[in-house]
Structure 1
Amino acid sequence: MKNFRFPAAAIAGAAAVALLASGCGGGDDGNGEAASADNPIELSVTTFGTFGYDDLYSEYEDANPGITIKPNNIDTGGNARTDLFTKLAAGSGVSDVVAVEEGWLGAIMQVSDKFVDLKEYGAEDNKDNWVDWKYKQGTDPDGRVIGYGTDIGPQGICYNGKLLEAAGLPSDREAVAELLGGPDATWEKYFEVGNQYKDASGKAWFDQAGFVWNSMVNQMDEGYYTRDGELNIEDNDAMIANFDLLSGAIDDGLSANQEEWKWNSGQSFLDGTFATMVCPGWMLGNIQGGIETAGGSTDSGWDFADVFPGGASNWGGAFLSVPETSEHKEEAAKLAAWLTEPEQQIKQSEAAGNFPSTLQAQEQLAADATPNEWFNDAPTGAILASRAKDVVAQFKGPDDSVIQEKVFGPAIDDMETGTATADQAWEKALKLLNDLVINN
């Protein structure tokens, strides 16, 4: 997948999103004076895609007279990465709080000294809020905590029950999970069922291959990098086998070759172009937005199953960080801490469909099992809690997102358009890896 989080404005027409809000007052304005109605402070915040924070910004401002949040939303994670690193290099223009995507966290760690150590503002006191691996992800090699975890991305399978039923396949979500292999689901089984669906319907099984490839790589014990930070692609037999398996699915016509993040302006969710797609929690909001943009409603037939080929997998997730250039570090750190507390993560999940990284919020969503009307009343929070079991995020190296977007993206595009075989596409990926990463 080329960008980790879809731009809400493009699919749902949502308002611009950003990051920040926290604690209740008490910080200073950089000159030792507390923020107040008589001493106002503006905190700029930058994020990307769909975070579901708009109402939280207002809530924080109402509770903290003198604080105004100035949001800046960037459409995609890839563009947000470019924006942040450009401003870091220039030494100016960086917001008081910025969102950092898991896929480029490795690159951020190489310049972690440009970010505030949140332990100076109480991060250690709250470390047990998060799943342990999320807190560790936000900690640099020197033990400095440079990011508060927002969401994580456990994955299930989104599917259109009406389309499956019309093709003679089960549509009940428990039966769909069993059809795909249940706890023993594999990619081979997923593609096998896809061929059954295509034979019966004449239509594609999944939206496009880039997302599938991203999921395959993410659930490997080691992905594009080893845990020691070494590139892990050339001569990686397991990765090559997955690439060949995906190529076979493309050759079988299982991919609808949709433009990433577009889905024909959402129409493809309504016209039967494809029947399933890989779904981290935050993707649910994108699907809903696409359906709404295309004029659909809650009766579109989309559902969410507690199953994933190859087992537990995490795609994405983000952090809130405070750059050293902020003139309001204490206020910014308080705001970031507040936004990532369990209570706020639950509200964020309700607004954006993503899944929290804090244990209390996860447990609450699992217990509530609230029906999601956009997914046939599926208890999406409870399903994501189930899918989050055994998830441990993979180590991401400094150029992980570049490799996904700029190296494998074009190679997979060639397979989808029929201009390259699997072997040719793999060789193209290796050449791009050499040009853009190894020798760059």
Structure 2
Amino acid sequence: MTTRKERNFNYILLNLASFVLILFFFIWFSVDYYRNWGVELETYLKSFSESLSYPAWTYDNRVIEQLVKVMVKKKDITFVSVYDDKGNKIITSTKEFSPNLFDQIFGTKHFTKTYNLNYADTFVGKVTFGYVDREPREFLQVIGLVLASLYMVIFLLISNLKKNQRLAAMVKELNDMNSELELAFNELEEAQNKVINSEKMAALGKLMVNIAHDVNTPAGIIYSSLTEQQNRLNSVREKFQSDELSEKDFLDCLNTITQLTEIMLRNSRRITELVQSLKRVAMNEMTQTYSEVSIKSLVDDVLNALHPKLRKTKVEIVTEISDDLVVRTMPGAIAQILMNLIDNAIVHAFEYDNPGKINIKFEKIKNKNEKEYLVLVFSDNGKGMEPEVQKRAFEPFYTTEPNTGTGLGLSIVYNLVVEILGGEIELESAVGKGTTFKIRIPVDK
């Protein structure tokens, strides 16, 4: 039978062990969270820098100014400065940052990062970002308060083992802890939504860069054709002025100019189609409103916008969509779902370089209550998923490619289908036999 002194000693040891464990967890969690925050922010800054390369190359200051204004609105960013290839400042956008009492107590730091802007292996300038780490420090402060509250509850629980009459006080402390945990959870959820929105903006920026690369080829053909056309016209003019122009020379010139004009018209139409597809996809991304939409046209726009990325792979995409399939839904959400599924398949199912096929099928069905649904069946014949990967596929930040992926692609798909569109999503996969996503979305009337 233990004495009162031994029991008190055991209580002290238990309290000390609890304190050490919670302190260790807080230190580990703080270091890991701060590092991940830095990695995610740097990834976002790099992605945004890539989106500035083409405007900097073309000296399109209006586009640069618009992109910089969007970037400086991010909570952690304090300023963005863009320079040309000669070091001359093109634009600077600054957001006022005034250190408050929190910053002074917890040592909020100010950082700068500079990235070179390269387009087509050519240095076209650089961009400098200024940012602070107030947000992760605020978040870790909340976690620290929660863990401190947790330790206090444990301390009270151990103390109440000696005095049962203080049980009511312990319950009250537990209720207080639950309230603080709920508050922390809400803040975590809000932070996750911000990261998801940042990921969507970064994806849109990458899409713009890819389209810009794809426009280069027809633009170069048009330039070459114009140059040849000018040379031929100059040659004919010189012969005409010197009375050496023959009928054959004139007819050859007409035929050549006709051919070159057809080439330029064909490539101009290609550029127009690419730009229009990007414009429609971008507008859909930015506006989450319901409207009547042709699903086939929407899918064609998405595939056109992704063409620069798809043509670098060995993946074939086959669609099965009726020309008259028109529904009232959120076209932006549907486009985002499709883009993320295609990107996920390229990266994970085929690992970029492997050949394969993606099948996209849309149809409209009715249930027993005559309620209409838009059904998407998205399947690939890639490497498939392990059972454990399937279970966690829709978890935020879960990825099997930590060096290249953010783990947000399928999480965004799930959020759009279930939370935004009120639909359902099913995942079927087998190792070596591919993966199928079945999505059912209620049609708005």
Same fold per TM (> 0.5)? no
The structure in which a higher percent of residues are strand is 2
TM-score, scaled to structure 2: 0.22
TM-score, scaled to structure 1: 0.23
In our comparison, the structure showing a higher alpha carbon Rg is 2
RCO (CA 8 Å, sep 6+): is it higher in 1 or 2? Answer: 1
